[in-house]
Amino acid sequence: MAGKSSYPRKWEWPNGAKIAVSVNMALEAFIRASQVTLEKTSNKVDHFSLSYAEYGAKSGVWRVMDLLDDLGIRGSVSTNGYAAELYPKVVRALADAGHEINGHAWANDQIMKDDDPDAELAEIRKCTKILTETAGHAPVGWTSPGSAGSANTLSFLKGEGYIWNGDDASDDLPFLKATKNGPMVIMPRTNIPHNDLVMWAMAKNPPGVIWDGFKDTFDQLYSEGKNGSPKWTEITLHYHMAGRPTLIPTIRKCLEYAKQHEGVWFARKRDIAEWAMKHESKA
């Protein structure tokens, strides 16, 4: 029936917002190769591919920071521990500007395994230490590279003081998941249609495809919010991709479009997770 929603979860945002929008960014570093290369070189380190990723810290991050500062938006930054080691001044600049610094494993081309829990816990602690030192405060959110967490990730993170994790794609809204160390807020991946890696770099689409996906998603969810079932969406920007001049106009177009609407809550992911923890604990 028009004007109603069959979605079973009852939800609300601060101040009655119709939709929450977050900007999720990534400061990534790699050991052997990044996501983009001109020719696969699996038998050696891909130096060109590593240089493509280095663009993010040298140039792209500053362009995205300027854009968000111009729009008055603060976002969240998935940050590899190795990236923090290589670019500590970049991490501190992001933190000082009010952006959330999140854990993103040590290197973006290394994935933790289910059968080596000791190594995973050691890596989480190693990443947490350097992110805390470079940002000036401890991270509370974590998304594994490719969202490929292990069977142990949630419990380890909760035990180390984290409150949210992004290795999931099962819903439109955050939800709580039990771990042996207490409940963790799950922040599902709502960003696939407007993720620069998936929709631009990997798919080799023109930049406008991100605008198409963002606008259609925003319009649908905003309509659901007006009908009493508010949702959440985000746009994901890797500094070594979205920070290139090719994509900046499209990203600006997306965010300016969202800002034209009333009842939009622009929030960092930790803000959304903290709200979700309170909301779901009362449910």
Identify which of 52, 30, 273, 27 has the alpha carbon closest to the alpha carbon of residue 131.
Answer: 27
Length of the chain: 283
Q: Is residue 137 part of a domain?
A: yes
* pLDDT tens digit sequence for 90-114: 999 999 999 999 999 999 788 777 7
Q: Is residue 11 part of a domain?
A: no
Q: In this structure, what CATH number is given to the domain that contains residue 236?
A: 3.20.20.370
Contacts of 178 (CB under 8 A, 6+ apart): 184
* Residue ranges of the chain whose pLDDT lies below 70: 1-3, 38, 41, 197-199, 201-203, 283
Could you tell me the residue range of the domain that residue 182 belongs to? 19-282
pLDDT confidence of residue 17: 98
Q: Is residue 233 part of a domain?
A: yes
C-alpha gyration radius of the chain: 18
Mean pLDDT computed over every residue of the chain? 91
pLDDT confidence of residue 177: 96
Overall domain count for the chain? 1
Q: Is residue 65 part of a domain?
A: yes
Rounded Cα gap, residues 47 and 153, in angstroms: 31
Torsion (CA) 283, 234, 35, 91 in degrees, nearest 10:
-90
Three-state helix/strand/coil letters over the chain: CCCCCCCCCCCCCHHHCCEEEEEEEEECCCCCCCCCCCCCCCCCCCHHHHHHHHHHHHHHHHHHHHHHHHHCCCCEEEECHHHHHHCHHHHHHHHHCCCEEEECCCCCCCCCCCCCHHHHHHHHHHHHHHHHHHHCCCCCEECCHHHCCCCCHHHHHHHCCCCEECCCCCCCCCEEECCCCCCEEECCCCCHHHEHHHHHHCCCCCCHHHHHHHHHHHHHHHHHHHCCCCEEEEEEEEHHHHCCCCCHHHHHHHHHHHHCCCCEEECCHHHHHHHHHHHHHHC
Model pTM?
A: 0.92
Q: Is residue 12 part of a domain?
A: no
